[in-house]
Amino acid sequence: MRITYFINQYPHVSHTFIRREILELEKQGFEIQRVALRGWDSNIVDETDIAERAKTHYVLQSGLHMLVPVFFKLFLQKPVKMISAIKRAAKMTRMSERSFAYHFVYLLEACRLVEFCSDHNTEHVHAHFGTNSTEVVTLANALSNIDYSFTVHGPEEFDKPLSLHLNEKIKHSKFVAAISSFGRSQLYRWAELADWKKIKIVHCGLDDAFLQGQPTAKASSGTKQLLCIGRLCEQKGQLLLLESVKAALDCGTDIKLVLAGDGDMRPDVESFISQHRLADKVKITGWISSDEVKQHIIESDAMVLPSFAEGLPVAIMEAMALGRPVITTYIAGIPELLTNKENSLLFPAGDINATKDAIIAFTQMSDGEVEAMVAKAYSSVVHQHNIVTEASKLASFIRGEV
């Protein structure tokens, strides 16, 4: 079956889960065309991502102005469908944070996507994230009647369901994949009852690079290194984490913290580190490749993620697969994979003292307790997040077998 994957930016260092999904679906017999809005000039170093970039078609690489002739060409070929697509774009403008001009640009992008799909003889389009990428796909559907589906990750889609017109995107889709039961429940809130049957659960998956057999915990050492992976932004809670790390240090806990990522909040993070003289205890890596992220997990004693809002972070799964305990908040889909004091340490979001206590509790665990936690974590992630199993589910939905 010939399908097209449509992503806002691809490849991307934080989108390795999409890459795994595409590659596994190809192993299962799909002929997949990659189409993205951006990413042709991204700074990537991962060899697999470089290979993926060479396979990807880019809608905006020749400039937005080059999409205008495509629009008029399709208007002449399919005037009725184009008018329908324009009406759908206008409907998406209501309650949106963006004006019709932006949504008309999405329509122009959809016109180019239709051309790519025609060249590939695409039978189905799948998008990731229920934001602008899925709007482009649903407008392409209005122009071509090609079936589409999309994966919703959260939390952005759940923060703005009305302005994103989630219900409209679900209505016109063949099916929608949620990455957790929590995600499915949030989609139920905004979908029509008749569309509930379209909403499926397809977890993000790990491949053999991570699922290579029962891992072991890092050998016990004096200073415990904690790793926090993610964009430096409010929802990830790094500023609260810094407060908690400082409090733990003040209690005499021997720890250091690595923040793997970058983002708009970096100046605030750096200011806190400087103000509290934590430069010898906290390191910021900036954006790093997926291989470097993996190496940082291996070099650390545990992963800590104090998020205020999430879907179900892939970084948590990767740490579990590599034998590193996870210390995180019990929000969104996280408790579906993690259980406090069994395969992880969980704490309430937004609580500095609880975060500090969880960090200290980890440093006080015996080697045997850590090994037991690691073993249970690996069993959980293998059972729920194997890419072969999850891609097979997605494949069956795309083929219409379920």
| Residue 283 token pair | 């390191």
C-alpha 110/C-alpha 149 separation (Å) is: 15
| b (16+ CB within 10 A) / e for 267-286 | eebeebbeeeebeebbebee
C-alpha 200/C-alpha 358 separation (Å) is: 34
What residues contact residue 252 under an 8 Å CB cut-off, 6+ apart? none
- For the chain, list the domains and their CATH numbers: 2-205+386-399 (3.40.50.2000), 224-384 (3.40.50.2000)
C-alpha 204/C-alpha 209 separation (Å) is: 15
SS3 283: strand
Is the Cβ–Cβ distance between 10 and 21 less than 8 Å?
Answer: no
Nearest C-alpha neighbor of 38 from the set 65, 6, 78: 6
What is the reported pLDDT for 45?
A: 80
What is the reported pLDDT for 219?
A: 85
Q: Which amino acid is at 265?
A: M
Q: Determine how many CB atoms are found less than 10 A away from the CB of residue 252.
A: 7
- Positions in the chain whose pLDDT score sits under 50: none
C-alpha 108/C-alpha 308 separation (Å) is: 36
What is the reported pLDDT for 272?
A: 98
- pTM for the model: 0.95
What is the reported pLDDT for 402?
A: 75
Q: Which amino acid is at 226?
A: L
C-alpha 178/C-alpha 201 separation (Å) is: 5
First-residue to last-residue Cα distance in the chain: 16
Nearest C-alpha neighbor of 130 from the set 305, 311, 251: 311
What is the reported pLDDT for 13?
A: 83
| Residue 229 token pair | 């992976």
C-alpha 83/C-alpha 272 separation (Å) is: 53
CA distances from 369 to 220, 226, 354, 366, 372 (A): 12, 17, 20, 5, 5
What is the reported pLDDT for 146?
A: 96
C-alpha 36/C-alpha 60 separation (Å) is: 8
Q: How many CA atoms lie within 13 A of 60 on its CB side?
A: 18
C-alpha 102/C-alpha 322 separation (Å) is: 43
pLDDT digits (tens, 9 = 90+) for 210-243: 998 889 888 888 999 999 999 999 999 999 999 9
| b (16+ CB within 10 A) / e for 46-84 | bebbeebbeebbbbbeeeeeebeebbeebbeebeebbee
What is the reported pLDDT for 8?
A: 97
